[in-house]
Amino acid sequence: MKTHSTNPGTLRRIAAFTLAETLIASSIFVMLMGSLVYTFLFGLHLQETTATKLGASDNARKALIHLTDEIRSATIIAIGSGDPTNFVAVGTNTPQVGTSMQIYTNSDTNAWACYYYETNPASANFAKLCRTDSPQNGGATVVVASSITNLPTLFSSEDVYGNPLMNNQQANRVIGVTLQFYQLEYPLVQVGPGNFYDFYQLHTRVTRRKIH
């Protein structure tokens, strides 16, 4: 037969942890909590990285999808400089490269859409590529892309090898669009050495469907 002591002091000594057991349990708890915190911080970093990449892809899609559709459906395209009220097309025997592009969807030269770089530092559209409809189509202005740095080579009229043409021929040419950024939006990300992106550029070449 086994006897059990009913002495309260003895019961307390049996139920309590020793100092070594307490230290071991505390160390395991601290390591476990540290692992959970590290996993949480790693998840936040991964989420931020993914959000940045998705934001960059979304900016690219928004900036180019409508522009490329308008180029493909255009009847006449003119590369030049200036804004919608002061657009000047590049002359003959001059490389067809500029900061503005005027697109005509049909033979009516009063109906156009103008893509241009806003050059007024006092304007809210400074350093942005904007699009404005002709007054005949409502004259609305929207911002296509923000924080652009590459001037004066936003738009170019090229041959099949990527060389700028020397005249405004409408047939057998390719329209090049190049956008370089110093920051991206949503989420806001600075672009440059030491940042998430050292360099960020969108470039596409589009051919009109109406070749004549």
Residue-range domain boundaries for the chain: 60-206
Please give the distance of CA 125 from its chain centroid, rounded to a whole number. 17
Task: Say yes or no to pLDDT of 3 above 80.
Answer: no
pLDDT tens readout for residues 109-162: 899 999 999 877 776 667 889 999 999 889 999 888 888 888 888 999 999 888
Label residue 103 exposed, middle or buried (CB < 10 Å: 0-12, 13-18, 19+). buried
Q: Which two tokens stand for residue 25?
A: 């349990």
| Amino acid found at 102 | Q
CA 192 to CA 198: how far, in whole Å? 4
Q: What is the per-residue pLDDT across 46-80, written as a single tens digit (0 to 9) for each?
A: 777 777 777 666 766 777 888 999 999 999 999 99
pTM of the predicted model, to two decimals? 0.74
Distance CA(98)–CA(81), nearest Å, equals 6
